[in-house]
């Protein structure tokens, strides 16, 4: 896929710092239960930490008990790119930012009780958060 935002690894590393670079650009994973956005409950909009693209509305976030922020739907179907991931000896679906290709996490079809049946299990390091009222885009996109 051709991404709208493209940079060299050196540019990304300088911009993101080591931890975010490892997750977003090298498909790393932060440790469960350590992410700063896991317990974020304010109304707002979750964005890509690399490029700022809108990804998830706070109203789609739910407590899945998995140790990472979980959502049952993206802000729109074009916001994320889904890619088959056969690493670690299993088949999963990787979720990337459709704007810059940053690794966000994985999506699973075990989100029982959610309207979509999906569980987008995202790394906090991959996400930014804009509380409702802190910006025009957040206020317009944050529906609970």
Is the dihedral angle over the CA atoms 134, 132, 79, 38 positive or is it negative?
Answer: positive
Is residue 66 flagged as an active site residue? no
Nearest alpha carbon to residue 103 among 124, 89, 75, 86: 124
Cβ(80)–Cβ(74) below 8 Å: yes
Per the residue annotation, which of 48, 51, 97, 121 is the catalytic one? Answer: 121
Q: What CA–CA distance (Å, rounded) separates 57 from 93?
A: 21
Please give the positions annotated as active site: 121
């Amino acid at each position: 896929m051709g991404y709208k935002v493209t940079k060299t690894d050196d540019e990304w590393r300088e911009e993101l710092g080591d931890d975010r670079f490892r997750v977003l650009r090298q498909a790393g994973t932060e440790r469960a239960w350590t992410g700063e956005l896991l317990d974020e409950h304010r109304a707002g909009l979750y964005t890509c930490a690399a490029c700022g693209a809108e990804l998830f509305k706070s109203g789609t976030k739910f407590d899945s008990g998995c140790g990472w922020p979980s959502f049952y739907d993206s802000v729109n179907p074009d916001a994320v790119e889904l890619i088959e991931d056969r690493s670690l000896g299993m088949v999963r679906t990787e979720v990337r930012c459709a704007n810059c290709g940053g690794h966000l996490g994985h999506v699973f079809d075990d989100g029982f009780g959610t309207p979509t049946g999906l569980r987008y299990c995202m790394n906090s390091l991959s996400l930014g958060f804009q509380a409702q009222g802190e910006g025009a885009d957040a206020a317009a996109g944050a529906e609970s």
